[in-house]
Amino acid sequence: MKKQFNRMRQLANQTVGRAEKTEVLSEDLLQVEKRLDLVKQVSHSTHKKLTACLQGQQGTDVEKRSKKLPLTILAQCMVEGAAVLGDDSLLGKMLKLCGETEEKLAQELIQFEFQIERDVVEPLYVLAEVDIPNIQKQRKHLAKLVLDMDSARTRFHQSSKSSSHPSTLQPGAKSESLREEMEEAANRMEICRDQLSADMYSFVAKEIDYANYFQTLIETQAEYHRKSLEILHSILPQIKAHQEAWVEKPSFGKSLEEHLNISGREIAFPIEACVTMLLECGMQEEGLFRVAPSASKLKKLKASLDCGVLDVQEYSSDPHAIAGALKSYLRELPEPLMTTELYDEWIQASNIQDMDKRLQALMSACEKLPTDNLNNFRYLIKFLAKLSEYQDANKMTPGNMAIVLGSCCSSMMTTLSLQIVGIIEPIIQHADWFFPGDIEFNLTGSYGSPIHTNHNSNYSSMPSPDMDQSERKQQHDQSRRPLSVATDNMMLEFYKKDGYDASCVLLLPTSLTLFHFPCFSLFSSRPRLLAGI
């Protein structure tokens, strides 16, 4: 009790500056002491945040940790979903592959977190919560020993002073006792100081080891992500293969080449399906391609064509919806059927006044079409030529079809509309000269089997490009019908008919219809709204 009282009195005297306080640490160690507290704070904070990043439950074995890992739960959910949908479903196949992949990723994540715990999290905890606190605890103990030593020294000095007073009895024994106490306190302090100094110097020397914790963190993360990336790269080809092998892909808005490659077809499915159904139920429908269908019916038909499922009976009573779907497909092609590259050639051909030369120019442009485009253009033109056989009933002459399927035009630019007619009408009229031979429309055999034949024998005697002008003119006058290019009166009469559908351009470029209403074309699949309208 007396010793503790003396220590408190000494501490109080040092606090108010009435007693000397011995500093036993060097300036370097005092700087280390300050650094200890900073390193402890940083290590503690980093340990706490890093632990929060771990998804698994710390301290548990692999199996228990795996069960509660979110990635494992996701993998199980995907695999179960795949079992429900089955391998016949593309979504089921995707879920199965992805579920198995997520399970592999989960296992990599568990191994990664175990390694992080062992090599980073636990060492940081030991540094922040064990090693540094032990040094700080030892520092406090040293401070207490220094106080004991200072207190013993003070009492010894006071005893020495009082022993010199004449009235003091047996001063030597007490003074000697205090001196021994002082020396003993000093000895304990030195032992503690040396141990503390060694620990503090060791801390400084091990800073590179502490820094390695963070290097290990990054290296472990890099290895984890590398392995995860290998897993993902290994599964991607399988996923893409399933996607590419799946034939039930949307066709509207997709490139013609992509759709044909995926489906293994020569003629686009929407074109064949619509044409074949129209051959069965729409050839005598008045205003075909001209009368707008029900928007909801058209939307439903397009959606069914997109997924390859079509109820022929449902739409056989609505040929206008079928015609609208065909127009929509052509309108939404990213690259127009007659291609933007050949735009100038089509226009130049339309400006040729001599019919024979115009036909030759149009033939030259047709021959330059890519194979897929040419096959589908041929198929479409052959159908339109067959449709014109029923023009008395459906009111769709080649000229009318050229207008409706050629552009959305208004009465403002009749001259340019005549250019459009000058391209499409002669190709429809002379379909069997442009594309000789019969054509099987129903390639899949799903909607009947109409076959196109030369519906006008006069077409077979089209003039040869090798004939001279006199022979060409004579044969033209004797054996071929005159080309019926639409006149202004025909255009005006056509516009006056009810039910005209001016919603799209299928075959020719929008630049032919400057200042027209928004329209689409086989040259430009995007609508253009020009200023001033």
Q: How confident is the model at residue 450 (pLDDT cuts 50, 70, 90)?
A: very low
Q: Give the residue with greater pLDDT, 477 vs 366.
A: 366
CB atoms within 10 A of CB 467: 14
Output the six-digit token pair for 157: 């000095």
Determine, yes or no, domain membership for 406: yes
Q: Are residues 406 and 337 in the same domain?
A: yes
**Which pLDDT does position 170 carry in this prediction?**
53
**Which pLDDT does position 222 carry in this prediction?**
97
When divided into structural domains, the chain yields a total of 2
pLDDT > 70? residue 303: yes
Is 467 in a helix, a strand, or coil? Answer: coil
Average pLDDT value for residue range 84-91: 86
Where among 187, 218, 245 does a domain terminate? 245
Burial 289-305 (b: 16+ CB within 10 A, else e): bbbbbeeebbebbbebb
Of the candidate ranges 180-189, 329-338, 403-412, the one whose mean pLDDT is the lowest = 403-412
Q: How confident is the model at residue 423 (pLDDT cuts 50, 70, 90)?
A: confident
What range does the domain containing 372 cover? 256-434
Determine, yes or no, domain membership for 497: no
**Which pLDDT does position 76 carry in this prediction?**
93
Per-residue pLDDT tens digits for 473-513: 343 333 333 333 333 333 334 333 434 343 333 444 433 33
Determine, yes or no, domain membership for 192: yes
Q: Are residues 147 and 271 in the same domain?
A: no
Q: Are residues 369 and 272 in the same domain?
A: yes
**Which pLDDT does position 3 carry in this prediction?**
55
Determine, yes or no, domain membership for 474: no
Per-residue pLDDT tens digits for 28-46: 888 888 889 999 999 999 9
Q: Are residues 221 and 298 in the same domain?
A: no
Q: Are residues 76 and 215 in the same domain?
A: yes
Where among 245, 271, 304 does a domain terminate? 245
Query: Best-predicted range by mean pLDDT among 164-178, 345-359, 413-427?
Result: 345-359
C-alpha–C-alpha distance, residues 315 and 328, integer Å: 16
Determine, yes or no, domain membership for 114: yes
**Which pLDDT does position 172 carry in this prediction?**
66
Q: Give the residue with greater pLDDT, 497 vs 295.
A: 295
Is 161 in a helix, a strand, or coil? Answer: helix
Of the candidate ranges 55-64, 72-81, 315-324, 509-518, the one whose mean pLDDT is the lowest = 509-518
Q: Are residues 287 and 313 in the same domain?
A: yes
Q: Are residues 275 and 354 in the same domain?
A: yes
Q: Are residues 192 and 266 in the same domain?
A: no
**Which pLDDT does position 342 carry in this prediction?**
85
Where among 211, 245, 279 does a domain terminate? 245
Q: Is the Cβ–Cβ distance between 401 and 347 less than 8 Å?
A: no
**pLDDT above 70 covers what percent of the chain?**
74
**Which pLDDT does position 165 carry in this prediction?**
55
Average pLDDT value for residue range 156-166: 71
Determine, yes or no, domain membership for 464: no
Per-residue pLDDT tens digits for 12-23: 554 544 445 677
**Which pLDDT does position 56 carry in this prediction?**
77
pLDDT > 50? residue 461: no
Q: How confident is the model at residue 164 (pLDDT cuts 50, 70, 90)?
A: low
Q: Are residues 133 and 30 in the same domain?
A: yes
Of the candidate ranges 85-89, 187-191, 223-227, 491-495, the one whose mean pLDDT is the lowest = 491-495
Of the candidate ranges 24-28, 132-136, 330-334, 510-514, the one whose mean pLDDT is the lowest = 510-514
SS (HEC) of 395-445: CCCHHHHHHHCCCCCCCCCHHHHHHHHHHHHHHHHCHHHHCCCCEECCCCC
**Which pLDDT does position 404 carry in this prediction?**
73
Determine, yes or no, domain membership for 410: yes
Determine, yes or no, domain membership for 167: no
Of the candidate ranges 83-97, 278-292, 315-329, 434-448, the one whose mean pLDDT is the lowest = 434-448
Q: Are residues 190 and 48 in the same domain?
A: yes
Average pLDDT value for residue range 172-201: 88
CATH number at residue 278: 1.10.555.10
Rounded to two decimals, the pTM is 0.55
Q: Closest by alpha carbon to 293, among 302, 283, 306?
A: 302
Q: Are residues 316 and 421 in the same domain?
A: yes
pLDDT > 60? residue 470: no
Q: Are residues 143 and 231 in the same domain?
A: yes
Averaged pLDDT of the chain: 76
**Which pLDDT does position 121 carry in this prediction?**
93
Q: Is the Cβ–Cβ distance between 501 and 289 less than 8 Å?
A: yes
CATH number at residue 201: 1.20.1270.60
**Which pLDDT does position 504 carry in this prediction?**
37
**Cβ-based neighbours of 292, under 8 Å, separated by 6 or more:** 320, 324, 499, 501, 503
pLDDT > 60? residue 453: no
Q: Give the residue with greater pLDDT, 162 vs 423.
A: 423
**pLDDT above 90 covers what percent of the chain?**
30
